[in-house]
Amino acid sequence: FDMFFLAFIERLIRPTYRKDDFILGKKLGEGAFGTVYRVSSTKNSSSKKEGDLVLKKASEYGAVEIWMNERVRRACASSCADFVYGFFESSSKKGSEYWLIWRFEGESTLADLMQSKEFPYNVETMILGEVQNLPKGLERENKIIQTIIRQLLFALDGLHSTGIVHRDIKPQNIIFSEGSRTFKIIDLGAAADLRVGINYIPKEFLLDPRYAAPEQYIMSTQTPSAPSAPVATALSPVLWQMNLPDRFDIYSTGLIFLQMAFPGLRTDNGLIQFNRQLKRCDYDLVTWRKTVEPRASADLRKGFELLDLDGGIGWELLTSMVRYKARQRTSAKAALAHPYFNSEGLLALSFRQ
Ligand code: ADP
Ligand code: MG
C-alpha cells in the first residue's frame, strides 16, 4: 500500500473530536503557551473511563506541537505519550487556540517521583509491581536508575531517529505510563523536526536554563536556516551530521542522570548551584569532580560511589553525555550500547525494550 493511502484511511477511521466532546477535570499544568487539563470525553462514554484523556489548550504554537505529535504517532509512537487528536478551535473567547488530546498516561512525572524521599525505590515498585523485601543499597539503586536512563534513551533514540529534537528534556516532561510501566516523553512544544525543516522557536521561548546545554542554538548560525518546505528532506541529514542537534537532548538527559545519582541536585537550588560550578569548570565534569570531591558531603560521596560501581562504568557514561562540545557527546543510540547497561542484575527482566 501507498503510505499516503494508509494515512488517509487512518485519518478516516480515527475518532475526531470537537470542543463540546470534553468535560474538563483537574488542571494539570499551566505554562506561557498553554494550559493542560485532565478531561473526560462525552463521546463513546460507555466504553471509556472517566478522565482518561488529557487536553492541552495551546496558543498559536500549538500548530507545531500537533505536527510533532502526528509525526511521532506514525514513526515512534512508544517514545511519547499516546496522542489522540489535535484541532484548531476558533470559537473560544480568548481568540483562536489549538486543542491537543492525549491518553492520560498516569499520575506522575519523573519530577514528582524524584521529589520523594523514597526515590528511586518508589520507581522500582512502579516498574516491577510488588518487590520482594530486599535490602536497600547502592547496587539496587543503581539498577533502578539504570532502568530509568535506559528507558529515557530508548525514547530519545526513537525521536532522534525520526529527525526530531525535543529541546526541553527535563523530569517535568517525562511521564510514567502506568499502562506500559515505562517512562515516556511529553511536551513537544519546543521540538524541532529537522528532516522537513520545521525548526520553530518563538522568540519569547527560552530554553529551560536548568537543563539546557551550553550551546544556545541547535543549528549553528553559519548554516543556512532550515527551510520550511519538504524540499529540505534531502539536505537535512547533512545538516544533522554537521550540527548534531540531537546532542542537546543528550546533555539534558545527562543532567537528569546526575540528579538521580546525587539527591542534593534534585532541588532547583541544588541544580542551579551545580550548573554554576560546572560553568566555572568550563563544563568539564572531571574537573568538577576534582574540585568538589576532597570536601564532599556524604550526599555527594554517595553519588560518586554509585557512579563508580562496576569499575566506574556509570561515571564513564555520564561524562560522555555531559560535555561542552556537542560533537564530543555520545548519541542516544551509542549510549544504549554502552556497557553500563550490559551488567545483568535485579531488574534485567524489566529491560523489555
Ligand atoms: P506545559 O506546556 O504546561 O509544560 P506539558 O505537555 O508538559 O505542558 O503538560 C503539563 C503537565 O501535564 C505535565 O507535567 C504532566 O503532569 C501532565 N501531562 C501532560 N500530558 C500528560 C499525559 N499524556 N498523561 C498524564 N499527564 C500528562
Ligand atoms: Mg512541560
Q: What is the pLDDT of residues 88-116, one digit of tens each?
A: 998 767 678 999 999 999 999 999 999 99
- CB of 176 within 6 A of ligand 1: the answer is no
240 burial via Cβ count (<10 Å: 0-12, 13-18, 19+): middle
Tell me what pLDDT residue 201 has: 61
Closest CA to 204 of 192, 215, 190: 190
Q: Is 168 a catalytic residue?
A: yes
Look at ligand 1, atom 11, and give the residue with the nearest C-alpha.
29
- CB of 281 within 6 A of ligand 1: the answer is no
Amino acid, res. 144: I
Q: Rounded to two decimals, what is the model's pTM?
A: 0.90
The environment of the single-atom ion ligand 2, i.e. residues with CB closer than 5 A, is 173, 187
Instruction: Name the DSSP class of 80.
Output: B
ipTM over 0.90: yes
> 215 φ, ψ to 5°?
-70, 135
Testing ligand 1's pocket by substitution, the residue of 187, 204, 207, 211 carrying the most ligand atoms inside 8 A of its CB is 187
- CB of 179 within 6 A of ligand 1: the answer is no
Summarize the confidence of residues 347-351 as an average pLDDT.
45
Catalytic residue among 21, 157, 168, 193: 168
- CB of 61 within 6 A of ligand 1: the answer is no
Instruction: Name the DSSP class of 87.
Output: E
Calculate the alpha carbon distances from 302 to 119, 248, 264, 305 in Å.
14, 28, 11, 5
Over residues 69-91, the pLDDT tens digits come to 999 999 999 999 999 999 999 87
